[in-house]
């Protein structure tokens, strides 16, 4: 009787050991120590381009190494002309990929979950969103940018993920979480 018991015990132990080995081997099947992840969602570059015939103004924010590391740079190609109607488009890129990945397309495809907000400290400036999502609410990839009298100030561009739509046009009323928040110094002359 005692022998049978110990045989049982040994068998059980063996079974457990086998199971545990099976576990260990299972756990290493999708080992991936050689490759690593690129920041796929990263937005490195925001380009806002305003066009009126040959009068082209480009606002660029670029942070090629993403969060952390070196700080980003803001470049504004030149002053805007007073009392002018510009056609404007925004482009978001991930330039750590080669070729650069166009994040704007993703935003466009999920227009109902995203919205751009443009806020200028110059009171004469009016920005109107021209494009709409599937529900008929604005997205803000394509805009018209109308300048008034001369002045200088700033332009803040925000991209909100999961905003409340429709909203009153301000990012504060839209809630959501911020994917892009950049500010450019602008001058109207």
Partner 1 sequence: MKQFIIGMALTLTCFSYSQTCTFTFLGELSDFHDGTLISSATIHIKEIDKYVVSDFDGKFKIENLCSGTITLTISHVGCETKTVSYQLDNDMFKKIYLEHHLEELNEVTVSTNLKTESTSIEQSINKSVIENYSDKSLGDALNSLSGVSSLNTGNTIVKPMIHGLHSSRLLIINNNVRMYDQEWGDEHAPNIDINSSGKVVVVKGANTLRYGSDAIGGLILVQPQRYAAVDSLFGSSMLSLNSNGFGGNINSEIIKTYKSGFYGRLQASYKKFGDFKAPDYYLTNSGLKNLNASARIGYRSFEKGFDAYYSVVDNEIGILQSSHIGNVGDLVAAINRTEPRVIDDFSYNIDYPKQNILHHLAKIEAYKRFKNLGKLTVQYDLQINRRKEFDLRRGDLSDTPVIDLRLFTNALQSNLHMDFIEGLKLDIGALVRFQQNDAVSGTGVSPLIPDFKKFEASIYTIGNYNLNASSKINAGVRYDYSRIEADKRYNLTDWNETYNYDELFPEFETNTIENTSILTNPEFTYHNISANLGYSKQFESDLSVFANYGLATRVPNPSELFSDGLHHSAARIETGLLTLYKERAHKFAASIERNNEDFGFSISPYFKYIKDYMQLIPVGITTTIRGAFPVWEYNQINAQILGVDIDVTKKITNRLNYVGNLSLLRGQNLSDDIPLIHMPATNLTNSISYYNDELNQLTMRLIHKTVLQQKRYPDYNFYTYEPILQEDVYVDISSTTPAYSLFSFNSSMSFKAFKTGSLKLEFNVENIFNTNYRNNLNRLRYYADELGRNFNIKIKINY
| CB of 43 or CB of 125, closer to partner 1 | 43
What SS3 state is found at 71?
coil
| CB of 147 or CB of 171, closer to partner 1 | 171
User: Omega before 166 cis (within 30°)?
Assistant: yes
Size of the site for partner 1 (CB under 8 A): 64
Binding string, 124-153, against partner 1, x = CB under 8 A?
A: ------------------------------
What SS3 state is found at 172?
helix
- The strand order across the sheet containing 177-188 reads 114-120, 151-161, 177-188
What SS3 state is found at 141?
coil
The Cα–Cα gap between 159 and 116 comes to: 4
With contact defined as beta carbons under 8 Å apart, do 125 and 79 qualify?
Answer: no
Under the binding rule (CB under 8 A), the answer on residue 11 touching partner 1 is no
Find, among 108, 96, 122, the residue nearest to 41 by Cα.
Answer: 96
With tokens 């606002």, the residue in question is 59
| Least gap, CB of 45 to partner 1 (angstroms) | 8
Both tokens of residue 84?
Answer: 């002018």
Among 3, 24, 99, 136, which residue sits at the site for partner 1 (rule: CB under 8 A)?
24
Among 49, 131, 181, 187, which residue sits at the site for partner 1 (rule: CB under 8 A)?
181
Among 7, 11, 18, 65, which residue sits at the site for partner 1 (rule: CB under 8 A)?
65
Q: Which residues pair with 52 in a beta bridge?
A: 55
| CB of 81 or CB of 137, closer to partner 1 | 137
Among 13, 18, 56, 82, which residue sits at the site for partner 1 (rule: CB under 8 A)?
13
Query: Using CB under 8 A as the criterion, which residues of the chain lie in contact with partner 1 when the complex forms?
Result: 5, 9, 12-13, 16-17, 19-20, 23-24, 27-28, 30-33, 35-41, 43-44, 46, 61, 63-72, 96, 103, 106-107, 109-110, 113-114, 119, 121, 154, 156, 158, 160-162, 171-172, 175-183
């Amino acid at each position: 009787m005692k022998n049978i018991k110990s045989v049982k015990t040994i068998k059980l132990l063996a079974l457990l050991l086998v199971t545990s080995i099976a576990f260990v081997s299972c756990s290493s099947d999708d080992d991936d120590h050689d490759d690593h992840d690129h920041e796929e969602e990263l937005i490195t570059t925001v380009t806002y381009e305003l066009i009126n015939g040959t009068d082209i103004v480009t606002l660029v924010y670029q942070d090629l190494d993403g969060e952390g590391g070196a700080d980003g740079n803001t470049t504004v190609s030149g002053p805007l002309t007073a009392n002018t109607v510009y056609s404007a488009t925004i482009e978001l890129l991930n330039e750590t990929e080669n070729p650069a990945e166009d994040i704007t397309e993703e935003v466009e495809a999920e227009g109902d979950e995203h919205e751009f907000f443009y806020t200028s400290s110059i009171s004469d400036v009016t920005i109107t969103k021209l494009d709409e999502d599937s529900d008929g609410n604005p997205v803000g990839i394509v805009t018209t940018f109308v300048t008034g009298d001369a002045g200088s100030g700033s332009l803040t561009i925000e991209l909100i993920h999961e905003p409340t739509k429709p909203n009153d046009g301000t990012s504060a009323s839209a809630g959501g979480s911020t994917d892009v928040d950049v500010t450019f110094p602008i001058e109207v002359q």
